[in-house]
Structure 1
């Protein structure tokens, strides 16, 4: 289950990742609607998920948090886990994990960020709020001059999210990765600290 609430928005909260969150990470990463946009070709078993989460817990140059709905956001109802992993099972007294926000290379002048939500929670504004909370945290607590995000050219929702947050398109890596049966262009978006602070 998620650890401690790190920061709260109006509808979402970011929680620390704990080692027993590996099963949730595995379920999300293997969902076709998550792994495709992220360019993840191979399935992840539980041991691999546990290794990834352990790395998140131990590293100092990264920040990794669970995106959760607080108990009140679920109206006291317990989402049932569907066969394809759209919604995780949880009790009505616990936050509901719906995705992750991640950053790495935070010991460099420019870090990298990524994010994903379970498909059941797409299109509801949760990612925008969660990434706003996350970027506030990164620019308040880390000395990075900016962050960048890489998205595939066919991932329109992610591009829209980044542009809404103030990221600028900085470049295109042509046919940079083989995803879902074909080579895909990859866009590089960037956001500078000064730009974020100016817009807040």
Structure 2
């Protein structure tokens, strides 16, 4: 079951990833539409559980609460999960904050394909940025996206991230060597881009 609600936006909540969530995460990451844009290897549940336990990242499920009506078209989304607070939630993705204990926090994120283009990604990553700046004394957060992943790059740029560099032919993904584009967002840039009533939160 999804764990504690860490933060919530208008439509999504971020909840801790628990052991019971590993099957959902494993199935989603095995989906070609998610795996290829991220460049992730295929992992079985045991490998994924070991990876999640060992890497020290802050990992959160992106969830829709019980009032959301799912159309039933996505086998990767899961309904009828109950959070530790007793609310029914639907898992639709994950956001991560990694490396925060020894360098600038790096964000990672994915959503199940049937909710792409609905604005959930922007809201989820925005919540993760707020979380990173409230939790860690870091002057900036970073993120990466493959050069061919226009949706992910557009999401980052819409939130104020600036392209900072490019690692050329960084990984072999989907039959070709791909460039990785590096992005950064300064704390003051994030604060200045928020409504005045919310500026003290980051």
Whether TM-score is above 0.5 comes out as yes
Residue deviations 1:93-131 (CA, integer Å, cap 9, x gap): 511011110011112341211100010110000010111
Structure 1 segments, 4+ long, off by >3 Å, are 77-81
SS in 1 for 2:6: strand
* Alignment match, 1:19: 19
Does 2:112 match 1:122? no
Unmatched 5+ residue regions in structure 2?
195-202
Aligned equivalents of 2:128 and 2:144: distance in 1?
Answer: 17
* Alignment match, 2:65: 70
Q: TM-score, normalised to structure 1's length?
A: 0.88
Residue deviations 1:129-166 (CA, integer Å, cap 9, x gap): 11111111111121111111111110000000000111
Q: TM-score, normalised to structure 2's length?
A: 0.88
Q: Aligned in 2, Cα 1:107/1:6: closer, same or farther, shift over 3 Å?
A: same
Q: Aligned in 2, Cα 1:78/1:33: closer, same or farther, shift over 3 Å?
A: closer
Give the count of matched residue pairs.
190
Unmatched 5+ residue regions in structure 1?
none
Aligned equivalents of 2:140 and 2:17: distance in 1?
Answer: 24
Residues 17 and 66, structure 1, Cα contact 8 Å, conserved in 2: yes
Does 2:80 match 1:90? yes
Report how far residue 89 of structure 1 moved. Answer: 4.1
Report how far residue 6 of structure 1 moved. Answer: 1.3
* Alignment match, 1:131: 125
